Chain A
Amino acid sequence: MAKKSINSLPSTTVSPLIGKRRSILFWITLITIICGFLIGLKPDNLFSNNSLKLATEFFKASISPAIDYENPVEGTEPFLKVVVESILITLRFAILVMSVSVPIGAILAFLSTTAWWPENINSTTKKSLLRTLHIIARSWIAFARSIHELIWGIIFITAMGLSTEAAIVAVTIPFSGILAKIYAEIFEEQCKETQSMFRAIGAGYFVSFLVGIIPSALPDIISYTFYRLECALRAAAVFGFVGIETIGYKIKLSSDEFHYQEVWTYLYALFLTIALLEWWGGKIRVSLNSKHV
């Protein structure tokens, strides 16, 4: 067989892969530099004497996390009990947020997806109603998730006062929006053949969707819900910095007093909780995926 030479390939003016990639890389670098310049970044701030000293102290504390208060005060509860309690409070906050966000997100996802819609809608009234609900749901989802939970938090805490309830409402709004968007995308990505078959043997649109789409979407939905539970846990911790008594509140108190070993104990406890959630979620994912081969 005759050997092929490069000249036998179709001619091109630029190397199709390298040329395009270089151009994209160039533009990304340029935009990054311009953004940094406009935002007033000064990288040397990171390496000033004071910040380096603080950073060294902080990271040094990571190898010896506290098992008791660094500055014990008589009459206070044991430190490790406080750590466990603050984790439980944070977990309760996250679970409450998800308990409200998941059903709202599921309803919004159902309204915002076209995955269950009839192929041909003959009635104008039905068509208008579906489209209106679809637009309202999509708009609300876009609005709810475009504002970060901390900003919702500031709004609600300003309006309702500093309370756990206000914080839960603040986190629930964007979380239900994000869950709705992802759930809707998961529904739309599923293979429609089972759903179509159920339609072809006389099932209604809702039932075909429920039996033809939901079971195959379930592993992805559960996997994403677990991820959002982790996010809710982190959000709960962050809300501690604005005064809600989650683990973030304790971290802030210890940090303000430069008790970095205590800070690391709280951080490790948070990490351990998230790791446990990840492990549990993983086990559920594996068990569900094994049923969807």
Chain B
Amino acid sequence: MTKPDQKKEAFVFDKVQHCYSGVPALEKIDLKINEGEKIAIVGPSGSGKTTLLNMLNASIQPTNGRIEILGKDSNLYSPKELKALRSNISLIPQNLALVNSFRVWQNVITGSIGDYSFPKLIKNLFAPSEKKLLEIHSILERVGIEEKLYSVTSTLSGGQKQRVAVARSIFQSPSTILADEPVSSVDPARAASLVKILLKVAEEEEATLLMSLHNLDLAIKHFPRIIGIRNGNIHFDQSPDQISQRQLEELYELKESEILQDG
């Protein structure tokens, strides 16, 4: 029986496998993620982290096995239900996917693109209400770039652009935030700052946060649960204090074919 204070399962992976043109990217993954959890996904390049994240908003369906998203098989969502589900899951991709020619407030507004009808989107993008602008301004205050409200996005620094992407995510009011290596191209200080902002936002919004990272230190320092993926398999799924040095070394160990021979 479920206890009243027990968190519900947001995502359940049951022997999930996914192949690209016959080549497996994920192999028989079993995983349970509860609502409100904060999880870092670590692993070497090509290990299957992005594929896993893309399965959480049903952008990718499993080749074998099944995924339950909010209690329902991901394959059984109708197009309308899928649209509603996706508009409730935000995504911060590695390249941030901002529209560079838009002003910051316009990029933030695109966070709710899944909820708007076409005329409403056009209205909000080109003639937003005062209320909307004030809402965006207060979101930008939360991420510390409120003075950039009217700036053209291409004129911002890399760190500021990341904050715009986070603001866009907040504007979406998601129940889950997916972040795919959002800090891979910034210095350690900015990376840590962004991770802290995302964790704070997820805490305040009571959202589930899944972030793929290359930086193990960040993952260990800030996340209560870390999933290590290697060659499409879950190598470990533990809290940072339970992960051994050996497990971490094995996670990033190069295969023999990947090792460059010297001389």
A212 to B125, CA, bound (A): 13
Known: A193-B95, A291-B152, A293-B154. A201 touches B113 (CB 8 A): yes
Chain A positions 198-216 with a Cβ under 8 Å from a chain B Cβ = 198-204, 206-208, 211-212, 215-216
Give the distance to chain B from A204, nearest Cβ to Cβ, in Å: 7
* B113 with A198: CB separation less than 8 A: yes
In the complex, are the beta carbons of A194 and B99 less than 8 A apart?
A: yes
Residue A136 CB within 8 A of the other chain = no
Given contact pairs A193-B93, A201-B91, A207-B118, A215 touches B54 in the complex (Cβ within 8 A)? no
Across-interface contacts of B84 in A (CB, < 8 A) = 202
Which residue in chain B gives the minimum CB-CB distance to A192? B97
CB of A162 within 8 Å of the partner chain: no
A110 to chain B, nearest CB (A): 14
Q: What residues of chain B lie closer than 8 Å to A194, measured between beta carbons?
A: 97-99
B154, A201: Cβ atoms closer than 8 Å: no
Q: Confirm or deny: A218 has a beta carbon within 8 angstroms of a beta carbon on chain B.
A: yes
For A293, list chain B residues within 8 Å (CB): 100, 154-155
Binding site secondary structure of chain A: helix
A292 within 8 A of B: yes
Within 8 A of A (CB), among B14-48: none
B214 within 8 Å of A (CB atoms): no
Contact call B100/A216, Cβ cutoff below 8 A: yes
CA distance A208 to B84 in the complex (A): 15
**Which single member of B95, B98, B172 contacts A201 (CB below 8 Å)?**
B172
A-chain residues with CB within 8 Å of residue B99 when the two chains form the complex: 194, 211-212, 215-216
Contacts of A202 in B (CB 8 A): 83-88, 113-115
- The answer to whether A207 and B121 have CB atoms under 8 Å apart is yes
- Within B53-72, which residues are at the interface with A (CB < 8 Å)? 54, 57, 59
Interface residues of A (CB under 8 A from B): 193-194, 196-204, 206-208, 211-212, 215-216, 218, 288, 290-293
Complex A-B, nearest 9 residue pairs according to Cβ-Cβ distance, in ascending order: A202-B114, A202-B87, A202-B86, A197-B97, A291-B101, A203-B113, A194-B97, A293-B154, A215-B101
